């Protein structure tokens, strides 16, 4: 007859400490993962910023184009509009800003992908598959928003500088012009990512198309508020230029979500 040794009971405090250390280890892993993704994104931005530094003259010509018509027009009339550099170090700082701007835009596929890679470990396998598709859609949407901002900017500049009193010159510091351009481009780009978020929520099964359709009043209101705040001038023309494409894309995504819901229902019936 064998005698079983007495079982050792782990004190409650020790079990709590074990769970606590496990939780802290998990948190540490998440922080390491976040650090890794941030480092990769920053390295990509730096790499493309170097490209922007090399092609600085071509990029500055490209960025200067939205205000070029106003500069040419002012040379033929009494209106005086000029881009100026006020400080001794401003040309060097301007080159850095143009390079970083190019780095942010050109590296967008990399840092959007890194955001996805940070989110997907907490998703199920089917959700990860859809996340890849949404990421592939997000990059063109972001770049489309930036391109639309580039098209809208000349209209915004024409409206804003049109308030200049007669006999007063517009000496626009280049760094302020570039900051204004970057803000508008990023706002348009981020605004165009909203449809991708809706698409991901539906494909991952979080929200149904019918639920999103029921939010149509809130969607329109929030989009109009966002457009009013983000629009460079706030006038109705620029407001519509930003909000109409956003609303169109969002409701196209809602239509796709409704079709996806129908596919899921049919699939469920077929399995039954």
User: Residue 113 domain-assigned?
Assistant: yes
> Distance between CA 40 and CA 36 in Å, rounded?
6
Question: pTM of the predicted model, to two decimals?
Answer: 0.66
Q: Is residue 230 part of a domain?
A: yes
In a domain, 12, yes or no: no
- Structure-block tokens of residue 140: 């063109």
Is residue 184 assigned to a domain? yes
146 is a domain residue:
yes
Answer whether residue 44 is part of any domain.
yes
Contacts of 34 (CB under 8 A, 6+ apart): 118
DSSP string, the chain: -PPPPPPPPPPHHHHHHHHHHHHHHHHHHHHHHHHHHHHHHHHHHHHHHHHHHHTHHHHHHHHHHHHHHHHHHHHHSS--EEEE--SSSHHHHHHHHHHHHHHHHHTHHHHHHHHHHHHGGGS-HHHHHHHHHHHHHHHHHHHHHHHHHHHHHHHHHHHHHTTPPTT--EEEEHHHHHHHHHHHHHHHHHHTTHHHHHHHHHHTTSS-HHHHHHTHHHHHHHHHHHHHHHSSS--HHHHHHHHHHHHHHHHHHHHHHHHHHHHHHHHHHHH-
Count: domains in the chain: 1
What is the pLDDT at residue 12? 47
Angle 99-102-107 (CA atoms, 0-180°, nearest 5)?
A: 125
Q: Which range marks the domain in which residue 77 is found?
A: 24-263
pLDDT at 130: 67
| 214 within domain boundaries | yes
List the chain residues with pLDDT less than 50. Answer: 10-25, 272
């Amino acid at each position: 007859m064998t005698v079983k040794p007495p079982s050792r009971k782990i004190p409650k405090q020790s079990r709590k400490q074990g769970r606590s250390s496990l939780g802290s280890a998990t948190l540490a892993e998440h922080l390491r993962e976040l650090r890794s993704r941030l480092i990769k994104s920053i390295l990509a931005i730096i790499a493309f910023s170097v490209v922007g530094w090399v092609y600085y003259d071509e990029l500055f010509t490209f960025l200067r184009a939205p205000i070029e018509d106003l500069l040419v027009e002012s040379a033929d009339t009494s209106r005086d509009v000029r881009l100026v550099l006020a400080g001794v170090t401003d040309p060097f700082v301007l080159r850095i800003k143009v390079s970083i701007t190019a780095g942010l835009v050109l590296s967008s596929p990399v840092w959007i992908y890194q955001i996805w890679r940070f989110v997907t470990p907490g998703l199920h396998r089917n959700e990860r598959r859809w996340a890849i598709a949404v990421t592939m859609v997000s990059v063109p949407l972001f770049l489309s928003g930036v391109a639309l901002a580039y098209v809208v900017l000349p209209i915004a500049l024409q409206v804003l500088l049109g308030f200049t009193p007669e006999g007063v010159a517009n000496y626009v510091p280049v760094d302020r012009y570039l900051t204004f351009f970057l803000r508008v481009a990023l706002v348009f780009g981020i605004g165009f990512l909203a449809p991708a978020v809706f698409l991901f929520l539906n494909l991952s099964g979080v929200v149904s198309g019918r639920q999103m359709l029921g939010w149509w009043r809130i969607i329109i209101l929030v989009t109009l508020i966002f457009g009013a705040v983000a629009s460079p001038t706030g006038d109705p023309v620029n407001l519509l230029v930003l909000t109409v494409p956003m609303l169109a894309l969002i409701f196209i995504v809602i239509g796709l979500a409704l079709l996806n819901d129908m596919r899921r229902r049919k699939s469920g019936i077929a399995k039954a």
